[in-house]
Amino acid sequence: MGKSSSKKQASMIFVTKTPLESSQQTALRTHPISDTKVQNTTTVVYPQMYKGHFDKLILSNYDIQKRCKEMAIYIHNTYPHNEPLVLMCTLKGSAPFFSMLCNELSLVGHPYMIEFYRAQSYEGLSSSQHVKMDASQLPKSIQGRHLLIVEDIIDTGLTMQKLMEAVETKNPKSCKACSMLVKRLEQESGNTTNQVSFEQELIGFSIPDKFVVGFGLDYNQMYRDLRDIWILNETGIKYGGFEK
């Protein structure tokens, strides 16, 4: 018969962490970096090969799902029910959040269409000033319809700004950004680094200016598979990702 399972090398590691509690109970949830203890804990799981790569758990999958439900209700109460809302996922990082948001919209019975678009501005750890975009590849379905561009994270906002400018040439009925995360960036040379205005109800969480991975967010294509969102530490950075 087969070998005893106790002799097999574990393929996953289970860790119990204390999720960080929101410091403000508002639509825009701010998440500080702290060791504040809360009563409830959450059990998270990640591949064994990632052991030692993270500093802190920022957001659990439960946190994200709960917020998605709230955002879906807001969207349902904001947009018409007699026409489809176009949800455009920016690949690759937004895919898990996009899927969860779509599911929550289905549960409240809101009509929508799904589209995908790929624009890239990250190189390694930093947001590049060179946004790769092909406006000719934008879907035709956005013309004359309400559009939500679904992002994983808004950093400097340059990518979203360029994308919204391109989208406007397709004459949508409206166009707004919907993002799982937005970074709280300090002002540089007197100018705010976040270049996109957004509705607080369409932003999941506001996080500190740290490099985070998981739930679609990657470092050189690594860590997208995590269910939760973590701060990457020096060990993870030195590993170099899957595309070194």
Catalytic residue numbers read 155
Q: Which residues lie closer than 8 Å to 77 by C-beta, 6 or more apart?
A: none
Residue matched to tokens 């990640």: 46
**Intra-chain end-to-end CA distance of the chain, in Å:** 41
Residue matched to tokens 């678009």: 117
Q: Which residues lie closer than 8 Å to 117 by C-beta, 6 or more apart?
A: 88, 89, 90, 91, 137, 138, 139, 163
β pairing state of 54-59 and 85-91: unpaired
* Structure tokens given for 48: 């064994």
Kindly tell me the sign of the dihedral angle through the C-alpha atoms of 181, 87, 62, 52.
negative
**Closest-CA residue to 139 (of 84, 88, 83):** 88
Centre a 10 Å sphere on the Cβ of residue 58 and count the other Cβ atoms it contains: 25
φ, ψ for residue 141 (rounded to 5)?
-65, -15
φ, ψ for residue 168 (rounded to 5)?
-60, -25
Contact by Cβ (8 Å): 59, 120: no
